[in-house]
Amino acid sequence: MNDVANKVNSDAKTVEHHIPQTLPRFSATFDPHTMAEIRRAAATGIYDIRGAGSKRKLPHFDDLLFLGASVSRYPLEGYREKCGTDVVLGTRYAKKPIYLKTPVTIAGMSFGSLSGPAKEALGRGATAAGTSTTTGDGGMTPEERGHSTMLVYQYLPSRYGMNPDDLRKADAIEVVIGQGAKPGGGGMLFGQKITERVAKMRCLPVGVDQRSSCRHPDWTGPDDLEIKIAEIREITDWEKPIYVKIGATRPYFDVALAVKAGADVVVLDGMQGGTAATQEVFIEHVGIPILAAIRPAVKALQDLGVYRNGKNSVQLIVSGGIRNGADVAKAIALGADAVAIGTAALIALGDNEPHLEAEYNKLGTTAGAYDDWHLGQDPAGITTQDPELMKRLDPVAAGHRLANYISVMTMEAQVVARACGKSHLHNLEPEDLVALTVEASAMAKVPLAGTDWIPGVSKY
Amino acid sequence: MESLKYNLDVTPLRELNQFLHSNPSELDGKTIEISNPNGAHNIAVGLKADVNVTIQGHAGYYAAGMNQIAHVVIEGSAGSGVAENMMSGRVHVKGFASNAAGATSQGGLLIIDGDAGLRCAIALKGADVVVGGSVGSFTAFMAQAGNLVVLGNAGDALGDSIYEANIFVRGSVKSLGSDCIEKPMDEERRQILVDLLAKSGHASISPECFKRFGSARTLYNFKVDNAGAY
């Protein structure tokens, strides 16, 4: 229109005056990221694969606030009055439940996706902090078992490296149905990371692209899962807690079925939870944020009479975007017994650090945004199997950083809990929370701040 | 040889399995007979001793699951996942086996005298499996290593996405899965087949009656041109 108007004006040689120009405007729909992805897809003919979890802005714990104590509630003294942080997991059936000093656990990440030194650092850090760490696809390494006081052994669809001797060495067993980054998806580990050691552990040829299955090979559906859990209990003589890990999709029904199948602990992972390698479309478009998943999961436990019901309790661990003590406290206030961190733990080890900016630039990215974890070129030596790169990670120093970070998260959660007058983190409750947005209010089922309105629960 | 008898009508399965997990020094060389199994699940799972266990009837899911060292005979038929993730030893099913027989097994020998259901030897990781009868569809799906011998026929999608495992079939194959092809019977494979026939009580059957199948290896590294195969 402007061009036409200009032409008409200049042709008519009417009064000259300044014609305002519109600013170049990017489409909100076809933003630069979207256009770059269209061009990349057009050039390669293959979907984009990357690591980490959902990167889009989602309703999250930041959309909740604690009310704290005032005249109507009584706070606890910050440094003088105790605020407990311990957690017991696996009380329902296991002869040897897990005792943790902090509700912050380390999520399952495989040797293969992570380097040996990174796995060792996770074990060291978790052990120093009094918490558990978790294996991943590809089996248990001696380094990891050796450096972890409490080690959860994942039982995955691929069964790579699955060994009954390791099952007996584990402190708990986690039957993995899915994860938040890709509920309904299987594992991926590309040729670059299938080194001789990784290949041997997984019984694969060196250098192949490993695309592991999304369904377990020897059971289908919840009735079979019940028999499978019973088999693992029989093999381990009912000693070890059995967790069931699910990606957040239909949390009420999935948690109910996991409890029915005999889980001691349910691990619920939201879409912000990380992955070593998954299609971008899967990460960003399948599954729900953890904020929306906790209350339905807790409701399922309550309806089945296993929520904080003494020995007959099934504990809930939630994960997916847990970053600090406020997130920990909010997850617990919504009903979780513990949380798990993955991406945050890798950052504490040294992932995406600004001092490696020049090297990230060489890989076509920038510190903080690096997510091509599947390519095995991580300059921080964490998501790689390159012997030179992995030398850069000192497992002792990195483990110390992780222990510090978990300690800070735990203390932060205590600060919040004491402010709310709670003598244990587990005494936090939804009543302590309000929401900043209508969306978060509906998802977390706590009132919009300053109102008593919860969309879907009460009338405005 | 000392023989111990357990009657599952009387003794709870938990008590039996706990006994079977005793220190191997107390179990080695013993024979254990289990009567009235009545299709119970998880019988004799997680064994790790040089024992001979006989299940005198039908077993449910995961019989002899994750077996190490032990020799287990199931005189009847077996439910899903018999000898799943076996590491070593030997499991012999005299009747039929249901789905996922020998799934992910890494070592040892699984013998099934009758037919096996769907997904037999799925994700096989190094064990040997010999089936006297026929196998159902999706047999040896993603089989990574080890050997599968089928004296009868195979169903649809045999060896789909197979890695380095060997499949030998005497009868017909309804269809092959993605990336699975017939391969020439070289001397090394012929010897594997001869040995397995001998070990499984089929020494009289000629290896010449079998065709060998394995991976075409076109899906080992992702190529856009193969996208239709996934």
Residue A409 makes CB contacts below 8 A (sequence gap 6+) with A102, A104, A324, A325, A328
d(CA B176, CA B154): 9
d(CA B150, CA B165): 14
Do A164 and B13 lie within an 8 Å CB cutoff?
no
Cα separations in angstroms, A122 against A23, A87, A350, B107: 50, 20, 12, 32
For residue B130, give the nearest of B168, B164, B159, B99 by alpha carbon: B168
Give yes or no for residue A5 having a pLDDT over 70. Answer: no
- Kindly report the backbone phi and psi dihedral angles of residue A120, in degrees, each rounded to the nearest multiple of 5, phi listed first: -65, -45
Residue A321, number of CB atoms within 10 A of its CB: 28
pLDDT at B110: 98
Give yes or no for residue A107 having a pLDDT over 60. Answer: yes
Do B122 and A217 lie within an 8 Å CB cutoff?
yes
Q: Which two tokens stand for residue B79?
A: 């439910």
Distance from CA of A231 to the nearest CA of B (A): 5
- Give the helix/strand (H/E) hosting B157: none
User: What is the tens place of the pLDDT at every residue in A216-254?
Assistant: 999 999 999 999 999 999 999 999 999 999 999 999 999
- Select from B46, B48, B103 the Cβ nearest to the Cβ of A218: B103
Do A159 and B125 lie within an 8 Å CB cutoff?
yes
Task: Note whether A158 and A187 are within 8 A (CB).
Answer: yes
Question: Do the domain assignments include residue A94?
Answer: yes
Question: Phi-psi bin for A217: left (phi > 0), alpha (psi -120 to 50), beta?
Answer: alpha
Across chain B, what does the average pLDDT equal? 96
Interface of B with A (CB under 8 A): 13-14, 17-18, 21, 41-42, 45-46, 48, 60-62, 65-66, 68, 80-81, 84-85, 87, 99-100, 103-104, 106, 119, 122-123, 125-126, 141-142, 144-145, 163-164, 220-222, 224, 227
Give yes or no for residue B7 having a pLDDT over 90. Answer: yes
Q: What residue has token string 């074990």?
A: A123
User: What is the tens place of the pLDDT at every residue in B154-189?
Assistant: 999 999 999 999 999 999 999 999 999 999 999 999
Give yes or no for residue A9 having a pLDDT over 70. Answer: no
d(CA A444, CA A58): 13
d(CA A109, CA A119): 8
Question: Do the domain assignments include residue A10?
Answer: no
Question: Do the domain assignments include residue A358?
Answer: no
User: What is the tens place of the pLDDT at every residue in A127-154?
Assistant: 999 999 999 988 999 989 999 999 999 9
Interface of A with B (CB under 8 A): 44-46, 158-159, 162-165, 167, 190-191, 202-205, 207-209, 211, 213, 217-219, 224, 227-228, 230-231, 234-238
HSE, side-chain direction, 13 A CA sphere, residue B215: 21
Q: Which residue has the higher pLDDT, A12 or A336?
A: A336
Residue A169, number of CB atoms within 10 A of its CB: 13
Across chain A, what does the average pLDDT equal? 94
Do A205 and B220 lie within an 8 Å CB cutoff?
yes
Do A219 and B13 lie within an 8 Å CB cutoff?
no
- Kindly report the backbone phi and psi dihedral angles of residue A294, in degrees, each rounded to the nearest multiple of 5, phi listed first: -70, -50
Distance from CA of A162 to the nearest CA of B (A): 8
Do A218 and B62 lie within an 8 Å CB cutoff?
yes
pLDDT at B97: 98
Q: Which domain holds residue A300?
A: 59-350+393-444
For residue A132, give the nearest of A89, A167, A180 by alpha carbon: A89
CATH code: domain of residue A191: 3.20.20.70
Across the strands, what pairs with B215? B180
Across the strands, what pairs with A435? A64, A448
Chains A–B, number of C-beta pairs less than 8 Å apart: 102
Question: Do the domain assignments include residue A291?
Answer: yes
d(CA A347, CA A11): 63
pLDDT at B13: 98
Count how many domains chain A has: 1
Give yes or no for residue B133 having a pLDDT over 90. Answer: yes
Task: Note whether B99 and B80 are within 8 A (CB).
Answer: yes
User: What is the tens place of the pLDDT at every residue in A178-191?
Assistant: 999 999 998 878 88
d(CA A252, CA A302): 11
Question: Do the domain assignments include residue A17?
Answer: no
Distance from CA of B20 to the nearest CA of A (A): 10
Q: What residue has token string 């300053």?
A: A450
Classify B154 as helix, strand or coil: strand
Give yes or no for residue B1 having a pLDDT over 70. Answer: no
For residue A311, give the nearest of A241, A215, A223, A234 by alpha carbon: A241
DSSP annotation of A454: -
Do B66 and A167 lie within an 8 Å CB cutoff?
yes
Residue A67 makes CB contacts below 8 A (sequence gap 6+) with A73, A420, A432, A433, A434
pLDDT at A7: 52
pLDDT at B229: 67
Residue A439, number of CB atoms within 10 A of its CB: 16
Orientation of helix B13-20 relative to helix A221-235, angle to 10°: 50
Question: Do the domain assignments include residue A152?
Answer: yes
pLDDT confidence bin for A460, thresholds 50/70/90: confident
Q: What residue has token string 């357990």?
A: B6
d(CA A439, CA A14): 54
Contacts of A231 in chain B (CB under 8 A): 41-42, 45, 61-62, 65
Do A213 and B60 lie within an 8 Å CB cutoff?
no
For residue A260, give the nearest of A230, A281, A217 by alpha carbon: A230
pLDDT confidence bin for A1, thresholds 50/70/90: very low
Question: Do the domain assignments include residue A283?
Answer: yes
- Select from A164, A190, A227 the Cβ nearest to the Cβ of B66: A164
pLDDT confidence bin for A17, thresholds 50/70/90: confident
Find, in chain A, the residue whose alpha carbon is nearest to that of B121.
A217
**Degrees (nearest 5) of the Cα angle A222, A227, A231?**
140
Q: Which two tokens stand for residue B27?
A: 């179990």
For residue A176, give the nearest of A226, A112, A244 by alpha carbon: A244
Distance from CA of B206 to the nearest CA of A (A): 31
Question: Do the domain assignments include residue A361?
Answer: no
Do B42 and A231 lie within an 8 Å CB cutoff?
yes
pLDDT at A190: 83
Question: Best residue in B220, B223, B225, B226 to probe A by mutation, most A CBs within 10 Å?
Answer: B220
- A453 burial class (0-12, 13-18, 19+ CB within 10 angstroms)? middle
Do B119 and A204 lie within an 8 Å CB cutoff?
no
User: What is the tens place of the pLDDT at every residue in A269-322?
Assistant: 999 999 999 999 999 999 999 999 999 999 999 999 999 999 999 999 999 999
pLDDT confidence bin for A80, thresholds 50/70/90: confident
User: What is the tens place of the pLDDT at every residue in A428-457?
Assistant: 999 999 999 999 999 999 999 999 999 999
pLDDT above 90 coverage of chain A, percent: 87
